Amino acid sequence: MHSGDAARTLSDDLIGFRNLVRDALQKLGATEREILMLREYEVLSYSEIAEILRLPVNTVRSRLFRARMALKEHLEPATQVNRAER
Amino acid sequence: MTTHPIAGDELMAYLDGELTVERAAGVAAHLEHCRECQGLAADLQRVSRRLLEWQIEESSSVLQHWLAEALQAVEEPKTDTRRKGSYLLVRPWTWAASTAAVLILVGVMVWQTGSRESERLVIPHELAQSDGAEPARLAQSMRAMLMESATSGAVGGVIGNVPQAAPAPPPEEAVQTGRPLIVRTAEMSITTREFDRTRPEVTRIVDAHDGYIAQLSMNSPSDHGRSLSATLRVPAGQLDRVFSELRKLGRIQSESQAGEEVTQQYIDLSARLKNARNTEERLTEILRQRTGKLSDVLAVEEQIDRTRGEIERMNAELKNLSNRITLATIQLQVSEECRQALRVDHSSTLGRIRNAAVEGFRGVIEGAIAILIFLLAYGPGLLILAVLVLFPGRALWKVVQQRTRPEQQS
């Protein structure tokens, strides 16, 4: 309800961009999203994230990579280089 | 992956500064000539940048306004009930104003359709609806993140405005109304003739103004007047009145008052406490929802313990500070005036009389002894002298008398 109100006051470009990122984040798994948030916004180290989520550090690293690649693909579908699958 | 010497997530770890020095050197060397890896590095950096941009856009303008309101709606009702007790009785207008504020806030909360949702603002607001328990946790971590970034200023200028919008959590009305917080101290030194009346009088004054005596000690040494020293705590607003009543106890020898501004200290401490509470909440939530190795569980629990210890410490510090702000401290010294002089005179008069009597008695005896000694020493000599002078004198006297007698007969 509020986001709708907000959207009307913002420019179309911004709405497009916001929706794009939000959709991309929504498509991630819960854990991947969480790892991504903890890394990007809380600027925690891999080991700190691993400690908080009780995952091995390697798992955090691979999931973070997967999350970033998924986000990148969603944000820039035209320039896909699916390196994660290689 | 098999043909490429550097895995994608390793490259990412290199960019995040998470590799050991040796591995980082290897990746750096490879990155220099591998175009594919350069492209991937650029992609990864772009994704991070876009996420940050999105964060800043999301929290701008309208959303930030909501955030401020939501934080206010969440925080203010709590603080209001906490401070009623002390201010209610003292200032009726404050009560009226805060009632009005509560009504407005309730209105805002109703309009916001519930405080739970308003807590999930910024990014997780939308995500929250996508799945069940996860978003609440995410919301919490995002909220904590906002608090942290607000104090450290890490995530750009837009978010940096948050703490101004969010009111400081403390019970102090002054913080909300923007008045400075001041720790007041005073010292007073009095001399009095009616010392016996002083102590009950001090107790009465302090009680009448809702204060208390923090420390009191009395001295009554034998060779001085009695003295009393006390530390009084009275509500800061009553300090002047208490002071003027204390002045009536006797003659003022000295008095002084001082005030130390602690607004910034109070706000800082409150913010740190809030951050620690958020961290604790988040860790507890994680502990509840996750299962894992025993060592991991223990590690998180240890972290929680540490955070709780920190919270306890800061809580105590904040309480102490609030206490010093709400209650002013008076150092009172009372000393007795006259009794000393009277008593000292009394005892010395007796002593002097006694001493004089003893001196006199001793003088008489000394005198007698001295005369005796003189007689013993000079008596024989004087006796011989007297004999020598007396006999020729007497003979001469007789001769003179015999010569005058025949002259009278003839």
Residues in chain B with CB shorter than 8 Å from the CB of A1 are 113
Flag if B44 and A68 touch (Cβ within 8 Å): yes
ipTM for the whole complex: 0.75
List the strands of the sheet with B227-235, edge to edge. Answer: B212-219, B227-235, B327-336, B182-192, B251-261
Chain B CB contacts of A40 under 8 Å are 48, 51-52, 55
pLDDT, residue B109, reads: 57
pLDDT recorded at residue B1 = 43
Q: H/E/C letters for each residue in chain A?
A: CHHHHHHHHCCHHHHHHHHHHHHHHHHCCHHHHHHHHHHHCCCCCHHHHHHHHCCCHHHHHHHHHHHHHHHHHHHCHHHCCCHHHC
Query: Is B20's Cβ below 8 Å from some Cβ in A?
Result: no
Give CA separation, A27 vs A24, A71, B82, B191, in Å: 5, 9, 44, 81
Q: Which residue has the tokens 């805060």?
A: B98
Q: Which token pair is A49?
A: 């994230």
Per-residue pLDDT tens over the stretch B148-162: 433 333 333 333 333
| CA distance, residue A18 to nearest chain B CA (Å) | 7
Residues of B with Cβ-Cβ distance to A65 under 8 angstroms:
8-9, 12
Dihedral class, residue B261 (left if φ above 0, else alpha if ψ from -120 to 50, else beta): beta
What is the distance in angstroms between the Cα of A73 and the nearest Cα belonging to chain B? 10
When CB atoms are compared, the residue of B50, B142, B300 closest to A41 is: B142
Q: What residues in chain A have per-residue pLDDT under 50?
A: 1-10, 78-86
- What whole-number distance in Å separates Cα of residue B228 and Cα of residue B195? 9
Residues of chain A contacting residue B62, judged by C-beta atoms under 8 Å apart = 5-6, 9-10
Whether the Cβ atoms of residue B334 and residue B250 lie closer than 8 Å to each other: yes
Q: B286: which chain A residues are within 8 Å (Cβ-Cβ)? A: 52-54
* Whether A65 and B130 lie within 8 Å, measured CB to CB: no
Question: Are the beta carbons of A37 and B141 separated by less than 8 Å?
Answer: yes
* B122 phi-psi bin (left φ>0, alpha ψ -120 to 50, beta other): left
Taking 50 as the pLDDT cut, the residues of chain B under it are 1-2, 60-63, 66-67, 76-90, 113-171
Rounded to two decimals, the pTM is: 0.35
Chain B residues 109-128 with a CB less than 8 Å from chain A: 113, 123, 125-127
B63 in contact with A at a CB cutoff of 8 Å? yes
Q: Is B57 on the interface with A (CB under 8 A)?
A: yes
Q: How far is A11 from chain B (nearest CA, A)?
A: 11
Q: Is B302 in the A-facing interface, judged by CB distances under 8 Å?
A: no
Residue A64: list chain B partners with CB under 8 A: 9, 12
Report which of A68, A65, A36 is spatially closest to residue A49, judged by C-alpha positions: A36
In this complex, the residue of A18, A26, A64 whose CB is nearest that of residue B12 is: A64
CB contact under 8 A, B44 and A1: no
CA distance A10 to A7: 5
Instruction: Say what the pLDDT of residue B331 is.
Output: 92
Q: In whole angstroms, give the CA distance from residue B51 to residue A44.
A: 15
Q: Do A18 and B138 touch (CB under 8 A)?
A: no
Which residues on B lie below 8 Å from A76 (Cβ)?
43, 46
| Contact of B182 with B325, CB cutoff 8 Å | yes
- Amino acid identity, position B318: L
Interchain contact, A33 vs B138, CB within 8 Å: yes
